Structure 1
């Protein structure tokens, strides 16, 4: 369906005689409408017939007050709390015997991530069993010497010696027991027959494997990071707000952002924490934000870049629907209704100065050039101006 726009130049045709223009509308019966406009017209005049108006679902409206938000534009990334990330290493060096995990796989807390082999592990188990067996004798001797000392049958010196030896062995026993626990060896069931040169390294948290540095056969030192794990629950945004904008940021303010691969979907978050330390290099502060819809957290991963707007305040401004304003070569125009002639609506193309656009409305900075009763073509202006 074609909309017809008519423009008129300022020359006088036939000494001021009536100018007759035939306007063809897109009505269902394809009938022609003849409109007679008196006087001289210029190229900024647009005439729209009733049939054009109805067929194109055009609308007329007035300028109104709209609450525009003052926004701070910022960037940042998604992250998880420190307690939801783990760098896994071995407490005791050894050769990697088994490691089949890949980045992206899910690990559960307590799951074996890899196994290490080292003959030095046997020495720790041997020391534990020897101390454990000797401890029973030392305990018996300590209790016997205590009883003899209380009855003045044995000297205090023998009692103190027995006590010292027993406590020393007990300390060594407890230390070795904790060392075996770090090796993930069950000291309660450990016997000489069950000693092993292989230990397992278990996952301290549940989450996704994000990197694997350990390979089969390599020697893993206690300081080496073998695997990193990230729990993506409680995903949040860390936004960088420059020092000059920091005074505008407050707890509870709303944040809107989009994914780079889905610009039509708007996500909403809320400012939860504001760091009190300024990065001296970037002169910015980290602002911690939580997504309003927790289900949206599954759509993001730690480290994902984000551009966001923090809504800090609102201000009422005179505005028109976004569809009423048309940009032509970096200038902005609207169609102002000036009246009706011969059954058609007459509009004048006027230039405007625009400000922010939000929620389908565009602020008009030179609104004082129009009165409160001025009517604008709020729907359909683009086709009429660009034809």
Structure 2
């Protein structure tokens, strides 16, 4: 009898040990193998975060709050300068390029030498000027003589009118040729003193930098050719295009926020200076001229840069959440809403949200009716948790 009792006790002990080991293994799987709770686990469709993880990751809770958001009009355009700050350099006469010491990017001052051209025709123009000047001296003398004679009734009116006509016609020729020499930067006084040159020099009409250079030494150019371009970047501005439907919302002084998508993600501030008064028939847009608020930032830009801009026309109040609390997955936006809080953990539920405009770190939530006023959201640290679900 004692023998059977002993065998029963042994069998019962083995069974208890086996059950105990099984429970231990199951607990090990739930706690990550070391008996401690996992920092983030699924709990009834939610995400559980331990107090240690919440505090160690600097997570924060917050409620949806009402913020002020700007009402904006979208626009695109470019960095530009006024027409008076652009110069296309060309010549008033044909010629061969003799000298051009500049390269693209060089800075020039107003009146600085740019290029010289050479042509035998310049010599002939100066000779024609001298001939007209000498002819004028004789005709002026004859005109004065005939005028004196007609006053004394000594000569006929016909002779007087002929002398007057020839003198005035030659005077006109002399003055026009003198002006041509001045336009070619040839000094008429020097020509009159016998200094004749086959070379003309072209000078910068404005200060700025060389942006285009279309000539080489020895190249033949005509008066219609564009030799080079100069742009003065001291007056950079925004030249924006706004669609016709938004024109009535615009006025001088409104704030502009813009960026250069191809070069930087920084947002730069400006303001509306002028609003166009005509609509482009092709694109149905109006031109808006804007100025930089921070003049020092203009040095970072070049003319022709494409910009994307928003013009703030009004403001509105709307309920919003911090932008960092919203995570986008597969074109859908989500947030984490607190379901339950215990002494050792937080349990969050992932919820879909419909978002609007973002401003100053906050994003408008359109479907606010889907949430309660006292709902708390994970406003910091939601990204890794939503990615894990």
Please indicate, yes or no, whether the TM-score normalized by the shorter chain is above 0.5.
yes
Deviations 1:312-358 (CA, angstroms, capped at 9, x unpaired):
332211111122223344443333334543x2353331413231222
Quote how far apart the aligned CAs of 1:255 are.
2.2
- Contact 2:119/2:199, CA 8 A, preserved across alignment: yes
**SS across alignment from 1:225:** coil
In 1, the alpha carbon distance for the partners of 2:378 and 2:101 equals: 67
In 2, the alpha carbon distance for the partners of 1:310 and 1:196 equals: 57
What residue in structure 2 maps to residue 351 of structure 1? 351
Question: Counting helix residues as a fraction of each chain, which structure ranks higher?
Answer: 2
**SS across alignment from 2:282:** coil
What residue in structure 2 maps to residue 277 of structure 1? 278
- Contact 2:350/2:386, CA 8 A, preserved across alignment: no
Deviations 1:45-70 (CA, angstroms, capped at 9, x unpaired):
52442x54443333222211112233
Quote how far apart the aligned CAs of 1:178 are.
0.3
In 1, the alpha carbon distance for the partners of 2:80 and 2:122 equals: 38
Show structure 2 runs of 5+ residues with no match. Answer: 1-26
- Contact 2:142/2:163, CA 8 A, preserved across alignment: yes
- Alpha carbons of 1:383 and 1:181: their partners in 2 closer, same or farther (altered >3 Å)? same
Question: Counting strand residues as a fraction of each chain, which structure ranks higher?
Answer: 1
In 1, the alpha carbon distance for the partners of 2:158 and 2:281 equals: 66
In 2, the alpha carbon distance for the partners of 1:193 and 1:297 equals: 50
In 2, the alpha carbon distance for the partners of 1:240 and 1:111 equals: 36
Deviates more, 1:131-140 or 1:185-194: 131-140
**SS across alignment from 1:335:** strand
In 1, the alpha carbon distance for the partners of 2:179 and 2:263 equals: 52
Correspondent of 1:46 among 44, 48, 52: 48
Quote how far apart the aligned CAs of 1:186 are.
0.5
Larger radius of gyration: 2
In 1, the alpha carbon distance for the partners of 2:183 and 2:341 equals: 90
Matches within 5 A, 1:18-37: none
Quote how far apart the aligned CAs of 1:361 are.
0.9
- Alpha carbons of 1:376 and 1:204: their partners in 2 closer, same or farther (altered >3 Å)? same
Deviations 1:223-263 (CA, angstroms, capped at 9, x unpaired):
22222222223212222333344444443332222233554
What residue in structure 1 maps to residue 178 of structure 2? 177
What residue in structure 2 maps to residue 311 of structure 1? 312
In 2, the alpha carbon distance for the partners of 1:385 and 1:225 equals: 61
- Contact 1:331/1:351, CA 8 A, preserved across alignment: no
- Alpha carbons of 1:345 and 1:334: their partners in 2 closer, same or farther (altered >3 Å)? farther
**SS across alignment from 2:317:** strand
In 2, the alpha carbon distance for the partners of 1:385 and 1:344 equals: 21
Matches within 5 A, 1:65-84: 65-84=66-85
**SS across alignment from 2:233:** coil
Matches within 5 A, 1:168-317: 168-191=169-192, 193-260=194-261, 263-317=264-318
What residue in structure 2 maps to residue 133 of structure 1? 134
**SS across alignment from 1:190:** helix
What residue in structure 2 maps to residue 90 of structure 1? 91
Quote how far apart the aligned CAs of 1:154 are.
4.7
**SS across alignment from 1:74:** strand
- Contact 1:354/1:362, CA 8 A, preserved across alignment: no
- Contact 1:73/1:309, CA 8 A, preserved across alignment: yes
Deviations 1:156-209 (CA, angstroms, capped at 9, x unpaired):
444434333332222222111101111111102223631112112222222222
Show structure 1 runs of 5+ residues with no match. Answer: 1-18, 25-31, 35-40
What residue in structure 2 maps to residue 10 of structure 1? none
What residue in structure 1 maps to residue 19 of structure 2? none
- Contact 1:206/1:231, CA 8 A, preserved across alignment: yes
In 2, the alpha carbon distance for the partners of 1:221 and 1:367 equals: 70
